[in-house]
Amino acid sequence: MEFVKPAKFTARVSDKYTVSENGRFSYVKFELVLPDRMSFQAGQYVSIMINEEGERRSYSIASTPDDNHGFHVLAEIVDGGKGSEFLKKLQPGDVVEILAPLGRFVVSESTENKLLFVATGSGIVPIYSMINDLLINKHESRQIRLHWGMRFLEDLFWVDNLGRLMEDYPNFVFDIVLSKPVEGWELCSGHVQDCLMRDFSNGELSNWEAYVCGKTEIVTDITNKLVELQMKKENIFHEKFT
């Protein structure tokens, strides 16, 4: 699989809004200025310069590669975080410098395995791009399954979008997992690993490949659980957020 060499771009903020009920997750749309087009693969990320000292922060691309005149990012806003403070101050019309595209967390095109995506928190971002690209742009017919873990109901976003994808594409299903569910929550609760155990018995994952994204320790735990469920380790790909 060939990867485009990363380059410097300038990009202008075209829109910005929160996507979760609690305002914890911010969605920012950028349009490219110079150069005005960028080739990337679903799952890759951009590195944004956040101050005059040249510090950078990396953000996965939430949009899909067919929109090559710009890109979207979604970020968890953490109080006191340099990247978060920078994003909070951004307004439509502001211009940023980025380095892109970066990363090799992309879907393999060389197998016929079924596709399992596992995300926690904002680890959903590159996976959301991957799934949309596979279903809408590439007309993927393989079975695709998503397990997405969050803490609270008010953290959730994109659920309606994922629901429409499931309605439009019978080969796609998704499960939301809450570690701190509200009373009466009828879907899976606990950790994502618990729900993988619920849904896959030993041996069922031998013809699947997995794409896992989240914080480092959680990605490690999920990978170990998938191996325990007899997925081949060479079929597990991951992106670890720090």
The band of 149, judged by pLDDT with boundaries at 50, 70 and 90, is very high
* Range with the poorest average pLDDT among 70-79, 185-194, 199-208, 220-229: 199-208
User: What pTM, to 2 d.p., does this model score?
Assistant: 0.96
Q: State residue 140's pLDDT score.
A: 96
Residue 166 three-state SS: helix
Q: Higher confidence at residue 202 or residue 84?
A: 84
pLDDT of 10 > 90? The answer is yes
Rounded percentage of the chain residues whose pLDDT exceeds 70: 100
Closest by Cα among 58, 61, 60, 86 to 71: 61
The H-or-E segment that residue 131 falls in is helix 124-132
Find the largest Cα–Cα distance for the chain.
53
Residue 99 three-state SS: strand
The band of 242, judged by pLDDT with boundaries at 50, 70 and 90, is confident
Q: State residue 201's pLDDT score.
A: 76
Contacts of residue 228, defined as CB under 8 A and 6 or more positions apart, other chains included, come to none
CATH topology for 114-241 is: Rossmann fold (3.40.50)
Integer Cα distance of 131 and 164 in angstroms: 12
pLDDT of 192 > 80? The answer is yes
The H-or-E segment that residue 33 falls in is strand 25-34
- Domain range summary for the chain, segments of one domain joined by +: 7-102, 114-241
Q: What is the pLDDT of residues 108-119, one digit of tens each?
A: 887 899 999 999
Ranked by mean pLDDT, the top range of 97-106, 178-187, 192-201 is 97-106
Q: What is the pLDDT of residues 41-57, one digit of tens each?
A: 999 999 999 999 999 99
Q: Which amino acid is at 140?
A: E
Q: What is the pLDDT of residues 220-231, one digit of tens each?
A: 999 999 999 999
Integer Cα distance of 99 and 7 in angstroms: 5
Integer Cα distance of 209 and 6 in angstroms: 27
Parallel, antiparallel, or unpaired: how do β-strands 172-178 and 144-150 relate?
parallel
Q: State residue 109's pLDDT score.
A: 82
Q: In the CATH scheme, what architecture does the domain 7-102 have?
A: Beta Barrel (2.40)
Alpha carbon 46 to its chain centroid, in Å, reads: 13
User: In whole numbers, what is the pLDDT of the chain averaged over residues?
Assistant: 95
- Does 114-241 match 7-102 at the fold level? no
